[in-house]
Amino acid sequence: MPFFRPTWVEISQEAFASNVRSLKKFIGPSCQILAVLKADAYGHHAASLASLAIKNGASLLGVSSIEEAISLRESGYKDSLLILGGIYPFENFSAVFEYDLIPTVASRESVLFLKKMAEEKKRRYPFHLKIDTGMGRIGMTVESAKKFIDEFGKDEAVQLAGIYSHFASAGEDVEFTLHQLELFKDLEKYVMKSEIKNVFFHMANSAGTILFPQSHLNLVRPGVALYGIQNIPLPRSVELKPVLSWKSKAIFLKRVPAGTPISYGRSFVTKNESEIMTVPVGYADGIPRSTLNKAMVLVKGERRPILGRVTMDHIMVDVTGLNVSIGEEVVMIGRQGNGFISALDWAQWAGTISYEIVCGISKRVPRMVVA
Ligand SMILES: *Cc1c(COP(=O)(O)O)cnc(C)c1O
């Protein structure tokens, strides 16, 4: 659909492809990548990146829900797709079959449902088993998993294709991360001793992949690193580029005298004569209101402050002395001249994480693929 309002997101397929290749090279030939494209690829438009991930070295993709998976299927993505979230109500397994998705299973109850359906459809159906090693979210304990594997590991109707767990603090807590890994490896050893073959073992998110090579096992599950907005230092051998830029244009300019209040609540009042630009992007697009008095945007390559409160559809920016014209490009996230503002900057201003910033860029902002 064409767009009229000059506010948009640019997605660099080149940067994304290069990030996948860089991680693939880093993990080496004995490990594979499950590219995490949940939440519309963290706001980056999953449909534009799914096949690219596979072409550049990922072996399968992960999304959060059946809805997200269907939308990727409808965009033409045909390869393997793991649903990371739990399937409930269990009747939803019929959509899993229909769209050829790999479900996550975390209980006996759920696998029995899958098994019944697989028997009806006369098709051995794969699933991944989720283990909780310290995240406290969906997943069974290692001890229950051993019993589960004894019961279903060689089932004729359902195929244990993967076993996985999730780090709670791979970027922050070495000791706890190693503790989680040890629990998981105990289970891996248990399965290796059985005759169950061809199982993916996976645990590492982006931080695990980058900081804990011993957690790679035979599959890693990076998300945020693929988008180049991870908040951990990188080893020299890994280069990750930001994939998303967020831009707009000045739609109105005015010069105002000192003492002029700007935006709701008049929380900001100009101290001097000022040039003020109105930009058509607001909290309904994902600019957090909580960045009050902190956030900046790029104009002519310079960081310039947002004045007063973020409104639903607009922000006002101080452009005094910049000699801007109407239609001047404004960058919320990305590069302009020598200036650069990242999702991590916004996260700091808003007191949150980069994930929430990019996932929060709302659907009404069109995504444009650039090379
Ligand atoms: C989101 C998610 C990931 C990716 O995490 P990042 O920190 O973005 O790398 C991996 N595994 C699971 C189960 C997830 O939910």
Q: What is the pLDDT of residues 193-246, one digit of tens each?
A: 999 999 999 999 999 999 999 999 999 999 999 999 999 999 999 999 999 999
* 147 among known catalytic residues: no
Q: Please tell me if the CB atom of residue 130 comes closer than 6 angstroms to any atom of ligand 1.
A: no
Q: Classify 304 as helix, strand or coil.
A: strand
Q: How far apart are CA 271 and CA 141, in angstroms?
A: 61
Give residue 45's pLDDT: 98
Is residue 166 within 8 Å of residue 135, measured between CB atoms?
A: yes
Nearest to 226 by CA among 362, 37, 352: 37
Q: How far apart are CA 273 and CA 295, in angstroms?
A: 21
Q: How do 329-336 and 125-130 pair as beta strands?
A: unpaired
* 38 among known catalytic residues: yes
Q: How confident is the model at residue 1 (pLDDT cuts 50, 70, 90)?
A: low
Helix locations, 90-205, DSSP H: 93-98, 108-121, 142-152, 174-193
Q: How far apart are CA 217 and CA 307, in angstroms?
A: 49
Is residue 133 within 8 Å of residue 113, measured between CB atoms?
A: no
Q: How confident is the model at residue 2 (pLDDT cuts 50, 70, 90)?
A: confident
**Model-level pTM?**
0.97
Q: How do 60-63 and 32-36 pair as beta strands?
A: parallel
The pick from 104, 133, 166, 359 for probing ligand 1's pocket by mutation, whose C-beta has the most ligand atoms within 8 angstroms, reads 166
The residue nearest atom 10 of ligand 1, judged by CA position, is 205
Average confidence (pLDDT) over 20-28: 98
Is residue 277 within 8 Å of residue 50, measured between CB atoms?
A: no
Q: How far apart are CA 234 and CA 237, in angstroms?
A: 8
Backbone angles phi, psi at 364, to 5 degrees: -80, -5
Is residue 34 within 8 Å of residue 82, measured between CB atoms?
A: yes
